[in-house]
A and B are shown apart, each in its own frame.
Chain A
Amino acid sequence: MNTNVAMNTHVGTSVSIKDLSLSFGSVNVLRKLDLDISEGEFLVLLGPSGCGKSTLLNCIAGLLDVSEGQVIIKGKNVTWAEPKDRGIGMVFQSYALYPQMSVEKNLSFGLRVAGVPKAEIAKRIARAAEILQIEPLLQRKPSALSGGQRQRVAIGRALVRDVDVFLFDEPLSNLDAKLRSELRVEIKRLHHKLGNTMIYVTHDQVEALTLADRIAVMKGGVVQQLDEPMTIYNKPRNLFVAGFIGWSAMNFISGQLAEKAGKTVFRGGDFDIALDGYQAEGPLTSGREVVLGVRPEHIQIDGQGGANLDEAHDAIVDLDEPMGPDSLVWLKVGSQQLSVRVESGKRYRPGDSVKVSFNVGKASLFDAKSEERI
């Protein structure tokens, strides 16, 4: 458990998904999926398009019938319960506001359906409107609202119903970049204030890394890794997670493990990299086919950041891509192409000779066959 999670004092499990499978016809979209989400946790589901994130969320909400497995919310098995009986609220990418109703009517619809007394409805709407700062908008129709305002109202709809679990399906994807970061902060603030469990689907890594207590990286209907953001970033479980997370793609070098002067090294064709600082999870048997993954920020040029130049390799600069605060330098070690992140102060020209060294402590080794971390 990381510090953040510990701080929120989790008492128990809020949402628990057991052995969940779902198929549309012959296509298995979710396969025997297990997931436990703690009380008050902010869990982000992250993965490429079509991996089944929305499907999973719809299963939790009760909008899709599961093929097998169970959904348990707050200790109650709700696998076959109606959405309204699950204590969940849902926010959609397309806002899904009822176009013919005013904001106020949108907010109160669920309460009216449930037969909540008028006075209570008014009270709850006032509270939600205050929290989300949409008081001046209550009498407007959704068509008269901006995208950001619409999404606030959509969140408000879940808020007034006093639900245990908030489900977000890419709520910010339809907004422009600036609004997106504003609302992101607001959602985080809302989470701190309410302390509800929140499950949040996105394929935006920034959202995932900034919002999440834990991230579940999905692919092909299976959770590949469920961990705190920094663990996912630093210690990806497999090649897929390693390649999926990160602003610029991780460098992957294929090779074998070998012995050299009594130490285990990674042999990548034309060069060897000593694996001194690497915390292996299994035996590093010599001769094993592996893939070494190093992020661009974990490679140093010409001993910057205090790297040891004795271990450095010769490289030729290919291309230099300035990206604002830093730049990405593409270079070649032997026949291997690498990208390296450097502070933008220094420029490199194609053809420059440089020395590169690898921060092996922060690199990852994967078995070439199973693609799992070793």
Chain B
Amino acid sequence: MAGNKRPVALFRNLNAKIAALPMITTVLVVFIGCTLWTVVYSFTSSRALPMLNFVGFDQYTRLFGASRWAISIKNIAIYGCLSLVFSLVVGFVLAVLMDQKIRFENTFRTIFLYPFALSFIVTGLVWQWILNPLGIQKVVRDLGFESFNLSLLTDRNLVIYAILIAGLWQGTGLIMALMLAGLRNIDEEIWKAARVDGIPTWKTYVFIVIPMMRPVFATALVLIATGIVKLYDLVVAMTNGGPGISSEVPAKYVYDFMFGWANLGQGLAASTVMLATVLIILVPWMMLGGRPNKGKANG
């Protein structure tokens, strides 16, 4: 063994490099390569096939002039804001209630969490059925309220709220579980100290516990936010964008232009806008010290 020479850098630790080859390829080809490709081709007039005939910001101009995109943006904004607020609030409240040393905690947890095991397709189809005219509307009408109308799925202005209801049903359990873990991580001593000082429970939550759980809230926030951007399957299953185009969302816009209508350039421009939005959310969060690998793998 030649122990006296510094080995050639490339061959040192060679096995580890071989083991990491799939990751290196994925990072270079998919995460960097494909992303750049998309950004570059979003400035072309590609239709059915990608072509490098650059047209500047034409695709973006058309994108932001399209009413379909405007509706998509409006929908994702409504869905995003409300799902953020409700997920955090409902998740936190449920977690606090679960943390009151209640009986049947495991049963409740199982119930709140099981929707998360289901796919968005299943979620969407179930809620489509429940919100269908033969569903809750008929139940109430049969009770004697003949004029009761619950037409969430067919009302252009309300359909996004139907999707929201289904989305919250699927996802709040996870937020509750995260928050509960966060609450359990808080030192018992804090509660004892607050009790000794005579601070009311609600004040302890608002002024001591919530600030201490900032990392958990940050994690939850990023989770919900990235989930919002990816919203697609649920819409496809529940409304397929309807009635008309009133429940379209950006991810679906991208898919339809790319794979449905062979208008690549438009789809790529829309997806680039999605990427930019995510970067705007993610980069400040990363700079504030949040890291995606912090305190996740130990449950």
Contacts and interface: CB of A to CB of B under 8 A. Distances in A.
Interface stretch (A80-88, A299-307, A330-338, A345-353): A80-88
Contacts of A76: 3-4
A70 B1 CA distance: 16
B6 interface: yes
A77 B1 contact: no
A78 interface: yes
A79 interface: yes
B14 interface: no
A76 B4 CA distance: 8
Q: Which of B1, B3, B5, B6 has the most CB of A within 10 A?
A: B3
A195 to B, nearest CB: 24
Contacts of A70: 4
Q: B interface, how many residues as a size bin?
A: under 10
Interface string B26-68: 0000000000000000000000000000000000000000000
A70 B6 CA distance: 11
A81 B2 CA distance: 7
Contacts of A78: 3-4
Interface string B1-21: 111111100000000000000
Contacts, number: 23
Contacts of B7: 80
B1 A79 contact: no
Interface string A51-94: 00000000000000000001000001111111001100000000
Contacts of A86: 3
A100 to B, nearest CB: 21
A82 B2 CA distance: 10
B7 to A, nearest CB: 6
Contacts of B6: 79-80
A186 B3 CA distance: 34
Nearest to A77: B4
Contacts of B3: 76-81, 85-86
Contacts of B1: 81-82, 85
Nearest to A73: B3
* Residue among A81, A85, A86 with most chain B CB within 10 A: A81
Nearest to B3: A81
A81 B12 CA distance: 11
Contacts of B2: 80-81
B11 to A, nearest CB: 12
A85 to B, nearest CB: 5
A77 B2 CA distance: 9
Interface string A3-27: 0000000000000000000000000
A246 B274 CA distance: 66
Interface in B142-180: none
A81 B6 CA distance: 9
Nearest to B7: A80
Nearest to B12: A65
A300 to B, nearest CB: 49
A78 B1 CA distance: 9
A86 B1 CA distance: 10
A80 B5 CA distance: 6
A85 B4 CA distance: 12
Interface in A74-119: 76-82, 85-86
A105 to B, nearest CB: 24
A5 to B, nearest CB: 28
Nearest to A84: B1
B14 to A, nearest CB: 13
Nearest to A76: B3
B115 to A, nearest CB: 38
A70 B7 CA distance: 14
Contacts of A79: 3-4, 6
Contacts of A81: 1-3
B212 to A, nearest CB: 29
B12 to A, nearest CB: 8
Nearest to A86: B3
The interface centre, meaning the residue of B2, B4, B5 with most chain A CB atoms within 10 A of its CB, is B4
A93 B1 CA distance: 30
Nearest to A65: B12
A77 B1 CA distance: 10
Contacts of A82: 1
A85 B5 CA distance: 14
A86 B4 CA distance: 12
B91 to A, nearest CB: 38
B72 to A, nearest CB: 46
A77 B6 CA distance: 11
Nearest to A71: B3
Contacts of B5: 80
A366 B102 CA distance: 67
Task: Determine which residue in B1, B2, B6 has the highest number of CB atoms from chain A within 10 A of its CB, and name it.
Answer: B1
A259 B159 CA distance: 99
A82 B12 CA distance: 11
B234 to A, nearest CB: 44
A77 B5 CA distance: 9
Interface of B: 1-7
23 contacts: A70-B4, A76-B3, A76-B4, A77-B3, A77-B4, A78-B3, A78-B4, A79-B3, A79-B4, A79-B6, A80-B2, A80-B3, A80-B4, A80-B5, A80-B6, A80-B7, A81-B1, A81-B2, A81-B3, A82-B1, A85-B1, A85-B3, A86-B3
Interface of A: 70, 76-82, 85-86
- Sort A-B residue pairs by CB-CB distance and give the 6 closest, nearest first: A81-B3, A77-B4, A78-B3, A85-B1, A81-B1, A80-B3
Given A77-B3, A79-B4, 5 more contacts: A76-B3, A76-B4, A77-B4, A79-B3, A80-B5
